[in-house]
Structure 1
Amino acid sequence: MSDNPYSYGVAVEDLVKRYRQLYSGAIYDVLDEEGLPHQALAPDLKPVRSDMVVAGPAFTLKGIPDSTGNENLRSKRIHMFGDMKATGVPLIDVRDCSFDTQAAHYGEMNAVVGKSCGVIGAVVDGGCRDTGFLLRDDFPVFCRYQSPVEAYRRWSYYEWQQPVALRGALSAVVPVHPGDFLFGDLDGVVVVPAAGVVDVLEKCERLVGTENETRALFASGEDPVAVYKQYGRL
């Protein structure tokens, strides 16, 4: 892979479109079979509306608690959005909130500016607010909770496009690097390491194809034992 974390050998737009045809369980199963069982994020990280889906490469952000309202930290975010736009690809805004639980770490203005810079969704290991606006705009956000509490003087942007750590389902945290691919639906969010984005996608597509064939046979009344022996899926 090149120094560009968003270079996969396949156009990012095509990857996003193909991943969106999948579901989190299938992606997790492939990762699990590849010896990567710890790629699921904590189960309380959910979409703000049940039918929302995110699929795309990570643009990572690390934020820290900040009770001072440090303007140097706060003003950094304007430059971050410019760096998002400079990637030239659709992105998922991925936020490591340093386990802060006091404030909302994402809101409507983040979404509006982010969308103008290529952001197609957000995964926030913390809180969001302005949820009604996010729903109105059909902008997918996955978060741990919703709160009206403003982040100013409570939490600030610190750095971005560095490895971050989000809470995991089977491990304390799941590392996320710029360019890793995130997929989220109602069942949760999984992280596909950048080096395996295309390989995992192709294996998932084959798996889903097999599942569709198996499902059709089960639904048609075929002998379940015979179908299971043929496909090994249930």
Structure 2
Amino acid sequence: MVVGGDLRLKGKSSVRAYCERLRTLFTTNISDAMDRLNICGNVMSPDIKPVISGMKVCGEAFTVRATRAIKGETLEEYVYFLKHLEKLPTGAVLVIDGKECYDVALWGELSTNWAISKGLGGVVIDGRVRDIPRMTSLKFPVFARGSVPTDAVGRVGFTDINKPILCGNVIVKPGDIIFGDMDGVVVIPKSDIKKIVDLAEEIRSLEDKVRERLRSGDSLLTLVREFGVL
């Protein structure tokens, strides 16, 4: 499959290689690169933050939408959803659109232990989580809108499994690259990953030069005019 012009993503190894490069960057670098490339609308709501301070997440998106459960169908919906989760590849990032269910927790400590056992790359939820004290010790990247103690079992069903969803006001397609840090979450279209990451690395290098010049006493105004970064 040809992706991004001359770029060929061959299996999971290429995704891992890009994620390794992304982990040396910040979401600010990616956002700036997408701005320069006129790739818009790919930064999630600033309300979606890492549950554990300092965590980064990076990997291919596996998508699902949480909905209000239909009475009598809750168990069947969970079984259907869990069967799909068991097929998730190592390193995948589970992305959940939970806008309809802000009053319940869509993720918790037991789910986190399962995700770790499966080798997932992380979880990004447009919704709430719970069990934060116990999740903190697990050091697994979970991004969400905050927490609530209410369990989702019996209250939530799942649909649009591995289909395009709206998460944090951004359309996320299966296979998009999800990258998040303390500043938030960006969604990188796989077709554009090469040019975005290449440019983001250039921007980081420019910022390093600006940082050195600032330490040498140069004026910020002069450097902004010269390099165009801030």
Same fold, judged at TM 0.5 (above)? yes
Indicate the residue corresponding to 2:202 in structure 1: 206
- Structure 2 regions of 5+ residues with no counterpart? none
Structure 1 runs of 4+ with >6 Å offset: none
- 2:225 equivalent to 1:222: no
Indicate the residue corresponding to 1:83 in structure 2: 87
- Count residues in correspondence: 223
Q: Deviations over 1:22-52 (max 9, x none)?
A: 1111111111122122111111111112211
- 2:171 equivalent to 1:175: yes
Indicate the residue corresponding to 2:229 in structure 1: 233
**Once structures 1 and 2 are overlaid, which stretch shifts more, 59-68 or 219-228?**
219-228
SS of residue matched to 1:175? strand
Give the 3 Å change call, closer, same or farther, for CA 110–77 of structure 1 in structure 2. Answer: farther
Equivalent residues of 2:52, 2:139 under 8 A apart: no
Equivalent residues of 2:116, 2:140 under 8 A apart: no
Q: Deviations over 1:56-83 (max 9, x none)?
A: 2111112211152522101113212222
Indicate the residue corresponding to 1:12 in structure 2: 15
Q: Sequence identity of aligned pairs in percent?
A: 28
Query: Which one of the candidate residues 34, 38, 51 is aligned to 1:35?
Result: 38
Relative to total residues, which structure has the larger strand share, 1 or 2?
Answer: 1
Give the 3 Å change call, closer, same or farther, for CA 145–218 of structure 1 in structure 2. Answer: same
Q: How does 1:11-160 map to 2 (within 5 A)?
A: 11-66=14-69, 68=71, 70-85=74-89, 89-160=90-161
Instruction: Give the alignment's TM-score, normalised by structure 1.
Output: 0.87
What is the root-mean-square deviation in Å for CA atoms of aligned residues?
A: 2.0
- Structure 1 regions of 5+ residues with no counterpart? 168-172
What is the alpha-carbon distance in structure 2 between the residues aligned to residue 155 and residue 232 of structure 1?
48
What is the alpha-carbon distance in structure 2 between the residues aligned to residue 222 and residue 2 of structure 1?
45
Matched residue type, 1:91? A
Matched residue type, 2:82? I
Equivalent residues of 2:108, 2:132 under 8 A apart: yes
Equivalent residues of 1:81, 1:113 under 8 A apart: no
Equivalent residues of 1:161, 1:178 under 8 A apart: yes
Matched residue type, 2:35? D
**Once structures 1 and 2 are overlaid, which stretch shifts more, 110-119 or 17-26?**
110-119
